[in-house]
């Protein structure tokens, strides 16, 4: 196993002129006092979303539990139980669509991708038609259900999604997974693209614009509570708009992986009632070219018993992540190394048929 990692790293380093990264690799290896060599180190990137989003934190938590850089405290003595020599890094990206494209093309090791976007990319639908189809995407695990959050300034007096007509609405960036869902929801609420004033910015900027009175509403598909939205709710009154049942039913018909979700009262300051919404699992996705052993070992580290408290303490979304729910809401085939891991763990019953997407549990 070590040999396979070593082989990959050597090729990567040899292919580089001695630049920043290679130099850093050599220095770190040197610091390890010769016990580890450059070929024992491997970097592994996890594409997330905007730094203001929950997935950037979740990606950071996953990185900590799967990494095990030289010199780490040993696993059995309260240290890292990650993959020896691995340094995983959470990388800020535009979000799901960007991650699907980059992972699919082999330019990013892995990414956190909404299951609906993963399905579109894998099946060649939506923004992924023709040459943009990404058939190399393979699921490592399901993470947690993300929630559609439509936030409005209370003083804008908007009470429904249809009421966003004529308003200034942030629908997130083009590479996000929020934008296609936001557009779909708005269209089903009867709003044509010209019926509202779209702003395409990431969550952090959208929150700033809300605070400055430059926006009336923002869409975000992600964990609850999102710290950026929680901070906004602390400084100005906000409301969350409910998703009408008819729109939910229509969306669910189109994508069975959508879940009925409720944003509970108290999730954000000032909320006075539960809000009906929609959920979609976020998946940790890699390329089919990732070695089976690497996929297997990433999951062994992620679902190691020592990792659970770290995930749970990092963010509420981390508490919803578990081996028991690792196959929930998958919309693309499992990576074979992942299928092997889940079969050994007894959570996947039939390893010969991992290529079949499993239906979402409502």
> Closest distance between ligand GLU and the C-beta of residue 221, in Å?
4
Q: Decide if residue 221 touches ligand GLU (CB under 6 A).
A: yes
CB of 223 to ligand GLU, least distance (A): 6
232-291 residues near ligand GLU, rule: CB under 6 A: none
Near ligand GLU by CB under 6 A: residue from 38, 46, 54, 169: 54
Query: The tokens of 90 are what?
Result: 């959470």
Question: Residue 181 in contact with residue 156, Cβ under 8 Å?
Answer: no
Render 321-348 in DSSP notation, one character per residue: --GGGTTTT--SPBPHHHHHHHHHHTS-
Q: What backbone torsions phi and psi does residue 118 show, to the nearest 5 degrees?
A: -60, -45
d(CA 34, CA 141): 35
The count of residues interacting with ligand GLU (CB under 6 A) is 15
Comparing CB distances to ligand GLU, the nearer of 18 and 316 is 316
Closer to ligand GLU by CB, 29 or 201: give it. Answer: 201
Work out whether 115 is an interface residue with ligand GLU (CB under 6 A). Answer: no
- 284 neighbors 46 (Cβ within 8 angstroms): yes
* Residue 222 binding ligand GLU, by CB under 6 A: yes
Smaller CB separation from ligand GLU, 96 or 267: 96
**Continuous segment of H or E residues that includes residue 150:** strand 137-153
Q: How far is the CB of 34 from ligand GLU (least distance, A)?
A: 41
Task: Considering the complex, state which of residue 51 and residue 262 has its C-beta at the smaller distance from ligand GLU.
Answer: 51
Helix and strand numbers, DSSP H then E, in the chain: 13, 10
| In the complex, least distance from residue 280 CB atom to ligand GLU, rounded to whole angstroms | 8
Q: Which is nearer to ligand GLU, 317 or 339 (CB)?
A: 317
Cα–Cα distance, 265 to 240 (Å, whole number)? 10
- For 66-126, give the DSSP string: H---TTPPPGGGTS--S-TTEEEEEE--S-HHHHHHHHHTTSSSEEEEEHHHHHHHHHT-G
In the bound state with ligand GLU, the residue whose beta carbon lies nearer, of 111 and 337, is: 111
Minimum distance from residue 28 beta carbon to ligand GLU (Å)? 29
Tokens of 113: 């991708």
Q: List binders of ligand GLU among 171-190 (CB under 6 A).
A: 172, 176-178
Asked if 95 interacts with ligand GLU (CB under 6 A), we say: yes
Rounded to an integer, what distance in angstroms lies between the CA atom of residue 257 and that of residue 44? 28
- Of 23-31, 47-55, 60-68, 127-135, the window that binds ligand GLU (rule: CB under 6 A) is 47-55
Site string for ligand GLU, 130-169 (x = CB under 6 A): ----------------x-----------------------
Which residues fall within 8 angstroms of residue 311, CB to CB, at 6 or more apart? 61, 62, 65, 318, 319, 321
Residue pair 128/120 in contact by the 8 Å Cβ criterion: yes
Q: Which residues bind ligand GLU (CB under 6 A)?
A: 49-50, 53-55, 95-96, 114, 146, 172, 176-178, 221-222
């Amino acid at each position: 196993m070590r040999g396979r990692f070593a082989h990959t790293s050597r090729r990567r380093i040899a292919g580089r002129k001695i630049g920043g990264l290679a130099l850093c690799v050599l220095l770190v290896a040197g610091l390890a006092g010769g016990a580890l060599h450059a070929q024992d180190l491997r970097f592994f990137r996890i594409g997330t979303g905007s730094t203001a989003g929950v997935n950037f934190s979740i990606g950071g938590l996953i990185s900590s539990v799967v990494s095990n850089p030289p010199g780490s405290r040993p696993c059995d003595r309260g240290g890292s139980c990650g993959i020896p020599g691995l340094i995983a890094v959470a990388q800020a990206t535009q979000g799901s669509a960007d991650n699907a494209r980059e992972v699919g093309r082999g330019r990013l090791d892995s990414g956190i991708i909404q299951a609906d976007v993963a399905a579109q990319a894998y099946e060649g639908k939506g923004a992924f038609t023709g040459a943009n189809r990404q058939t190399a995407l393979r699921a490592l695990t399901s993470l947690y259900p993300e929630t559609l959050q439509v936030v409005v300034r209370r003083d804008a007096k908007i009470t429904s999604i249809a009421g966003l007509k004529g308003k200034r609405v942030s629908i997130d960036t083009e590479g996000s997974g929020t934008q296609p869902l936001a557009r779909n929801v708005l269209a089903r609420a009867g709003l044509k693209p010209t019926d509202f004033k779209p702003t395409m910015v990431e969550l952090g900027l959208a929150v700033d614009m809300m605070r400055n009175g430059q926006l009336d509403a923002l869409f975000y598909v992600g964990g609850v509570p999102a710290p950026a939205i929680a901070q906004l709710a602390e400084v100005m009154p906000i409301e969350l708009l409910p998703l009408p049942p008819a729109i939910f039913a229509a969306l669910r018909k189109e994508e069975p992986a959508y879940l009925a979700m409720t944003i509970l009262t108290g999730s954000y300051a000032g909320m006075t009632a539960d809000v009906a919404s929609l959920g979609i699992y976020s998946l940790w996705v890699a390329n089919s070219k990732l070695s089976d052993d690497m996929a297997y070992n990433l999951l062994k580290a992620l679902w190691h018993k020592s990792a659970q408290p770290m995930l749970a303490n990092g963010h509420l979304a981390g508490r919803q992540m578990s081996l028991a729910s690792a196959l929930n809401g998958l919309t693309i085939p499992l990576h074979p190394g992942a299928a092997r891991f889940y079969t050994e763990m007894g959570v996947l019953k039939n390893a010969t048929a991992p290529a079949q997407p499993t239906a979402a549990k409502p």
